[in-house]
Every structure is written in C-alpha cells, then in structure tokens.
Structure 1
C-alpha cells in the first residue's frame, strides 16, 4: 500500500512538472523596422522575424524621384518564394524598378536562406500601398506577407 502511495505521489509530481512546462512563454516583440527619412528608404526584414509575425506592416517614404529598397529574408529551397512583382494599388505614384534573389555565400551549407531585394522609384507625390506575399505557387495560399504604405513627398 505504501508503494502505491509513492507511485501516486511520483505520478502527481510528474504531471505537475509536465503541466508547468506547458505554460505559454512570452513571444518577443519583433524589432522595429528602420525607415529612412530623406532621398530613399531601406527596409530589411530577416526571415526569422516572419516566424514571430507572419504579416508585417511597414511605412516608408521618399522624395519625388527617390528610391525605396525592400530586402526580405527568403529560402526558396522550402518551395516558398516571394512574389516577383509587388501588387501596387496606384502605379502612377510608384514603379517597381527591379527584383532579384541574392543567395547565401558559397561557404554556406545547402538550404541556407538568402534575400529577395526590390527597388521602387517614386513617380509622383502621393501615398500608395504595396503587397508582397511569400507562398508556394502550386498551393495559392500565402504563408507570410508584407504590406508597405509608401509615401512620395
């Protein structure tokens, strides 16, 4: 009988330890995305930030004729990739100039993430919205997204 009580006590302690380990831990707040204030604006969001926050909203601005550069972490070996062209709500305000994938260095192991880089040029004063999605083309469902509110001053 004493042996059964000890087993019950050990079982209860084990359950308490298990339940205590299942408590929700605080998720760190993603870092503030830096925004430039003159001439052009550069924003760089590493791939790890999207694991904390799958949809990121960014506010950017530049002067008329200035450029916005957006760099997003990417790992095409997973089958996911960022949209080639941004969805731009008003293409009279801003135009996509380029988009390229920059792979990891040659010393990095296979499967290491790289970066997608877009450059946009301000065409006229105003505010517009850009959307970039990270998805698998064959599923049609996006995993991550970035919405950029771009103001041309």
Structure 2
C-alpha cells in the first residue's frame, strides 16, 4: 500500500512537470536582455596646461617658461600597467615648495578596452610659490631599482 501511494505521488509530480514545461520543439523562453553601455574614465576638465612627454623623450626637459603662481599643469606620459611598469615621481623642492602634486590618474583611450592595453598617466601639479622645482619621473617596476626610462622636468614659478 505504501509503495502504491509513493508511486502515485511520483506519477503526479511528473504529470505536473510535463504540463508546466514548454512543448517539445518550442523555443525556450529567452531571458530579458539588458543593454550595458561601457563607461570610460573621462579626464577632468581642470588639467590646466598639459605637457605631453613623448615615449622616447630626452632625459631632461626644460619647460622653457615660468608658470605664474596658481597655475595648474599636468604632465602626460604613456603607461601600460599590465607589464608591471608604472611612472613613479620624485619631486625635488627647496624649503618652500614651488610646485605641489595635486593628484595622478590613469586614463585609457575611448575605444573598446583590450587586455594589455596601455593608457596615459597624468600627474597634476600646481605652481604655489616663486622659485624652481625639479620633477623626476621614472618608468619602472616598483620592485626593481633601475628604471627603463627617466624624465626630469625643470619647472620655474614666477
């Protein structure tokens, strides 16, 4: 008797499952599609004067002009963090700094991102006091002592 009631219960469950499933050959019910718009990092509008440093630039670059106090300027360099290399900055100033680092960010091009793709590293500075400063940027892996590229910028503030 128990066996018969168990068999009837299983048969009833199978019947319910067959009735509620789509007919054979019917297309499956598609999940709703959600459109995803890729976002990119948009550079801030307050980069000030942008100084683009070419990939094969000379070791020392004199900017050739003095910035007025309060001027915001950015140094732009190509960087590919997937290689382990990154730009590391050292700012040499006197007792009263002529230039201060405001921030740094990495911006990728407005194209479909691909693995291993590089971007542009921006170092944003502000001229704060009259004098001069030397900005040294080294392209290296943080755990290695020797950079593969080094750029030194001489900045004057009036």
TM-score normalised by the chain length of structure 2? 0.61
**For the residues of structure 2 that align with 1:89 and 1:125, how far apart are their CA atoms?**
11
Alpha-carbon RMSD across the aligned residues, in angstroms, is 2.0
CA contact (8 A) 2:91 2:133 kept: no
- Structure 2: give runs of 5+ residues left out of the alignment: 1-47
Q: If you compute each CA radius of gyration, which structure gives the higher value, 1 or 2?
A: 2
How many residues in Structure 1 have an aligned counterpart in Structure 2? Answer: 109
Which of 26, 45, 60 aligns to 2:53? It is: 45
**For the residues of structure 2 that align with 1:129 and 1:120, how far apart are their CA atoms?**
12
- Please give the residue correspondences for 1:14-25 in structure 2 after superposition, counting only pairs within 5 Å: none
Which of 115, 125, 139 aligns to 1:134? It is: 139
- Structure 1: give runs of 5+ residues left out of the alignment: 1-39
**For the residues of structure 1 that align with 2:86 and 2:109, how far apart are their CA atoms?**
15
CA apart distance, 1:41: 3.1
Which of 56, 73, 78 aligns to 1:68? It is: 73
1:79 aligns with 2:79: no
Greater helix proportion: 1
